[in-house]
Amino acid sequence: MSTAVSTSPSAVPRVEEVFAHAERKIRQAAAVLWAEADVVLGGHVPSVTGYVRRLTIDDRDWYAKYSFLGISLVSLLRGTCGDWDEVRAAQAAYVRRPDGLMEREVGQLRFLAALGRPRVCGVLGSPCGVLFTRAVPGPTLASLLLERPQDTAGLLEAPFRELTRLHRPATAQTLGPAAAIGERSVSGTFLRKFNGLSGTLYVDRLGAERCDPAERAGVVELLRRVVARLHRLRTAVLPSSASGAVLTFGDLKPEHVFFPSGPDGQPVFIDPGLLRARLVVDVVKLISRTILLMAAAQPSEITGKQVAEGISAFAEARVRGLPRAVGNGWLHELLVLWLMDSINILTTYLSAPAALPISAQGEVLVKRAAVVCAMADQISDDLAVGTKPDAAWEHGLAWIAAVAA
């Protein structure tokens, strides 16, 4: 779907009416599932993708998630799907579709539960288009990486090892094509955002409501350069077919992995976005989002260096034993996709209307956009001028300490 921004204020839905509608639907859906239970709506969880609320049902903690037309709240509030009356009418039909985003996510959670590994959060269903999942206790991978940066390699290996069964080629044949969430594709998202004239206008307007005016022009110029390079690198590096595709978790990030029994126990995953892609996609997302975590948390330069060493060991374990040419090609693809994923996430935050609450991490990344863009500019320039992948990778690892400082 296009990311073009409406220029008519009357065509843009308001945050208040969008959130009020979602809350009503959550209350209606909860009444369907827990007619006799004591249902208490908790706090709103800021998100750029959908409306999320905490709930307590008879003293048990749950999450409720509601998606509008399967697109991000940022796109919705920018008028991509029309004014509020048009959105509301389209949404009434969307929630009845069997391929709606929440229906697919319910199906994926049940698919993973049947697969047995990785472990996933409990899911109840999606009446009225609302997805209900059980809250998972324990620390997240994100919190553990910040607490134990010296253990980064092992901490990243633990969840990735859980995906072994999912990554087997035969498993990809057992998930129906309609059940995949292709919206989580790194390269697909990049192309939707930065395609043609609408992509140019999108970049030009980034940060208009979020950025420090003194920094915005520099951030936008860096993004123009990075996006142009990544477009060229994409066609030269990424495979043109689905060769080597497996089922990937699709939205693998440190905040989506919990350790209920502590860091030595089996992790539990939330919010899958299963899609058919090359295995490198799950490696990319875990690395990219770990680096963005460091950029937002700013723990220290020393912590950044420890995390960089762990990321390096984690990535090197993926190519160990491969012929040198194959390993270099894999590393080149990893670098391109890493930059695409980071730019996809950063620009979503930058384009969010000021009235839309975003996560604390998102707020900090907006303020540190110049640093993240400088990192992407340096690495994409390395790749564009033909720097060998291992040298570009070393430059990228050095940047982790800088963004964590």
Give residue 235's pLDDT.
78
pLDDT of residue 243: 63
Same domain, residue pair 217 and 117: no
CB-count burial class (<10 Å; 0-12, 13-18, 19+) for 240: exposed
Beta strands in 255-344 (DSSP E): 257-258, 268-269, 275-278
Domain boundary among 110, 134, 158: 134
Residues 119 and 180 grouped into a single domain: no
Averaged over 79-104, what is the pLDDT? Answer: 94
* Predicted confidence (pLDDT) per residue in 363-373, tens digit: 999 999 999 99
Give a yes or no: residue 187 inside a domain.
Answer: yes
Q: Which two tokens stand for residue 335?
A: 């670098």
Same domain, 124 and 145: no
Count of domains for the chain: 2
Q: Where in the sequence is the domain holding 322, given as residue range(s)?
A: 141-404
Answer whether residue 1 shows pLDDT above 80. Answer: no
User: Coil, strand or helix: which one is 245?
Assistant: strand
Is the same domain home to 396 and 298?
yes
Please state at what angle helix 152-162 crosses helix 280-297, rounded to 10 degrees: 140
**pLDDT of the residue at 4:** 41
Q: The domain that contains 388 carries what CATH number?
A: 3.90.1200.10
Query: What pLDDT is recorded for position 194?
Result: 95
Statement: residue 10 has pLDDT above 70:
no
Going from the C-alpha of 270 to that of each of 45, 82, 135, 253, 283, the distances in angstroms are 15, 31, 9, 10, 17
Residue 273 forms part of a structural domain: yes
Query: In this predicted model, what pLDDT tens digit does every residue of 324-364 receive, in sequence order?
Result: 999 999 999 999 999 999 999 999 999 999 999 999 999 99
**Residue pLDDT, tens place only, 194-220:** 998 889 999 999 999 999 999 999 999
pLDDT of residue 9: 46
Same-domain check for residues 176 and 69:
no
pLDDT tens digit sequence for 151-196: 999 999 999 999 999 999 999 889 887 799 988 899 999 999 999 8
Whether residue 306 sits in one domain with residue 185: yes
Report the greatest alpha carbon distance in the chain.
65
One DSSP character per residue, 186-224 reads: HHHHHHHHT-HHHHHHHHHTTTTTTS-HHHHHHHHHHHH
Average pLDDT score over residue span 229-238 = 82
Q: Is the pLDDT of residue 238 over 70?
A: no
Position 4 in a domain = no
Q: What percent of the chain has pLDDT over 90?
A: 86
Give the tokens for residue 99.
Answer: 């391929």
| 216 and 312 together in one domain | yes
**Digit-coded pLDDT (tens) for 46-73:** 999 999 999 999 889 999 999 999 999 9
* Final residue in a domain of this structure, among 134, 166, 198: 134
Output b/e per residue, 167-177; b: 16+ Cβ within 10 A. eeeebbeebee
Rounded to whole angstroms, how far apart are CA atoms 327 and 325?
A: 5
Is residue 369 included in any domain, yes or no? Answer: yes
